[in-house]
Structures are given as C-alpha cells and as structure tokens.
Chain A
C-alpha cells in the first residue's frame, strides 16, 4: 500500500475509534448481564443531584451475637469493619447494586452482591445481622441536622459461618 493510500485509511481512525466506543459503551451492556463491558464505560459518574434523595444503605443490628444498643449504619462502625474505616466507596456501590437487583427481581445478581458484602466488606466479623434499608432524605439537611425523612427495610440478612 502506498504511503498516501495508507493515510487515507488512517485518517478515519478518529472517527472509527470514537464511533466504536460510543456504540459499545451505550449498547454493549444490553447484551451482557453486567452493567458495563470492561474497558468500556459510559462515564456517568455523580451525574444527578437532588434535594430529594433515595439511597440504599446497610443497617447493622448485631455483631458476633451481640445486639447493638441501637442499629448503626455500616460506615459508622469504624471500630468493627476495616472497609468502614477506609471509607471504601465500593461498599456503597455494591449496596446500591444489591438494592437495584432486588428491585429488578434478579435473585442471582442479588445473591452475588450479598456474598460480596458479607465475604469482603464484613470479613472482620463472623456473624452479622443487618438490614438493607432505603433511606429518603435531603442531603444538605441530613448532613447539617441528621434528619432522615423516611427509612424502609427492604431485606434482612444474617451473615454466619458454620
């Protein structure tokens, strides 16, 4: 191929790479059970803000057979869980994915997410009783006053190794 003929092919590179990426990032996930096909991603990160927020969270009720005086959110239990101390964002991501899988009636996916929470994020305790709760709040108001407008238990679980 002559040098110029090669350039005529190469000049299409920007169009092809951008077009191919858009196609797979937007439509590829429809042909796979996962929300994205690595290394493609639609780059929707922190895209929406609202004063009327619904978020899933983990509310721990007991650890190693000892009921807590008051149920606590996972991230507040820094003395118990390493991933709470590390403020690991993956705990929140997987929690949202667990809630979403239950909402969409995908039991297998929900089971995988639950296993991940219990085996990885709650690895510091042998036995944990906890709820997956849906919190409804205004973020600024909750940050300043602690007020949660509504709290609903979506599912209750128990992690235990026999």
Chain B
C-alpha cells in the first residue's frame, strides 16, 4: 500500500511539475520558504479579522430585513436560538481570527475560526441564492487547520516540509477553482466550435457574454460597451484567459509561474469589474497572498525558464530553445550537498 501511495505521489508530481524540477524544485530553500509561509498564514488571519468586521453590517441588515431565511447546513441549528445568535456567529469569526493571528500555532483557534467563518458565510448565503465571493477564503481557513505543529526551537526538516506541503495543497486547491472555471469555458466552447456556430472560441464570444450580462441586470460597466463594439480587442484576451484558467492547476508545482499567474488572475478579476461589474475583492487578496507573495517563488529566474515552464506551450518553446542557460541554471551539486 505504501509503495502504491509513493508511486501515485511521484507520478502526480511528475505530471504537474516543471520538466526541470531539479533546477528549481518546489522545496528548494525550505528555511526561507517556511518563514514566508508562516508570515502568509499570520497575514491570512489578520485579513480574516478585517473581512469578518466588514461582514458585520451586512449580516445585521439581513437579520433586520429578511423574511426568507433558507438556512444552509452549517447554520441550520441557528433558528433555535433566535436572531441574536445569527449576528454572534460573525463576531465569533472575528474573535477567532484575532486569536489565530496572535497565536498562529494553536490549532484550536484555527479550528474555531474555520467553523465560525464557515457559519458566517453560510448565513450570508442562506437567502436561497448562492454568492461565491467568500468560498475560497473559507477553504483557506479549512486547509490551514491541517498545518502541523513545529518544534519552536529547532523545527526539523521533515516538519518544515510537512508545513509547506499544506501550503502547497492550499495553493493547488485555489488553482483548481480557476481550472474548473477554465474547464467549463473550454468545454462549452468546444461544442459550438465543432458545430461551426458562435460560442466561446468565436471572435464575438466574450462580447456576447458581456451583452447578455448588461441586458440581464441593466448594469453599465465602465468598458462593457466599448469592448462589445471593438470585440477584436477582447477576443485574444478571452483566449488567453481560458488558457490561464484551464491550466492553472499545473502552475501549483511550477513556482516560477506563481507570480505571473497571481498577477494574471488579479487582472482577470479587475476585468470582470470593468467589463461586467462582477466584484470578487477577496479573490484579489488571496491571489496576492498565495501567489504574488508565494513562499515558493524563486529568487532568481529568467524569461526563458518561465516560458519553458508554461503548460502546453513550454513543450514547444523547449524544442526551439534547447541550450540550457548555464548562468541561471540551478546548481544541482550544491543543492545535493545541503
């Protein structure tokens, strides 16, 4: 069984990783990576305090106005205690976030935060409709519950790698969300493409989507009408977006791409506001936190290495650009000697 698990693990890494993992493996400088990862976790809980605080007036308004509660499973028990309990769940999330920020090594506080925040987001979505703005943030909290305890004085290498494995898993999960989004765009675009009718891969694909959104709700996005009229501008951007989202999961174990995918997806969220008035502020924060500030991002990299790491296109770029760049190549001997 252990051998089978080892084999599955190695094969998965082989598929997802860069073709030259030894030149910059995801766990290459675990000392500095661990420090960055611990800072990331603390910042997450600080930002969670801020988010829980922002949610308080929303939930207060909901409690005051709503007659149509349809409680989701994490908060189905709340009506037993009356309306006052609803608002205290959000306060609980705020307090638990503060405690987790101050004492990030205490798992009990992290568990409490995950439960309270799950409840708080559950309350916001208990009106019969689902808003997905906070889903990813909830999952970060759930993943961080699994962070292992480290020996404070001298954490062992294996302990550090266990900690970083949880961070890598959290990154992979967030990238999976984007891969899902890309998969559906690709899937629903493929049929019309094969049938020769207008769909996601047609030049007016995005423009049709934007027009439908404007008609649906009567919004007036800043650049919506301009892009619909000048759809040749949006066409390549939409194709790049589908690619970036579809292959996002492969980026999890290619740390040289973390920065680019982080900023790329932040730009995508900026685009959804400018073109559709769809607002995902928490995602901007978590992309910045997990990928722009990725603990695994290398200190040195070249454009060529980044291009070679690109999923799908990297294969062809490597064919064109065979000679390794000695100046920036990862020193395997030095790495092995550590």
Contact = CB atoms under 8 A, between A and B. Distances in A.
Interface stretch (A35-43, A99-107, A152-160): A35-43
Contacts of B219: 87
Contacts of B299: none
A75 B213 CA distance: 12
A48 B200 contact: yes
A18 B212 contact: no
Interface stretch (B32-40, B53-61, B80-88, B202-210): B202-210
Contacts, number: 190
A115 B66 CA distance: 13
Interface of A, secondary structure class, is helix
Contacts of B326: none
Contacts of B215: 137, 139, 142-143
Q: Give the size category of B's interface with A.
A: 35 or more
A14 B162 CA distance: 11
B185 to A, nearest CB: 5
Interface of B, secondary structure class, is helix
B31 interface: no
Interface of A: 2-4, 6-7, 9-18, 21-22, 25, 36-39, 41-53, 55, 75-76, 78, 84, 87-94, 112-113, 115-116, 119-120, 123, 137-140, 142-143
Interface of B: 5, 8-9, 12, 66-68, 70, 72-74, 118, 121-122, 125, 127-132, 135, 138-139, 143, 146, 148, 156-159, 161-163, 165-166, 168-170, 172-173, 176-178, 180-181, 184-185, 187-189, 192, 197-200, 202, 204-209, 211-219, 228, 249, 252, 276-277
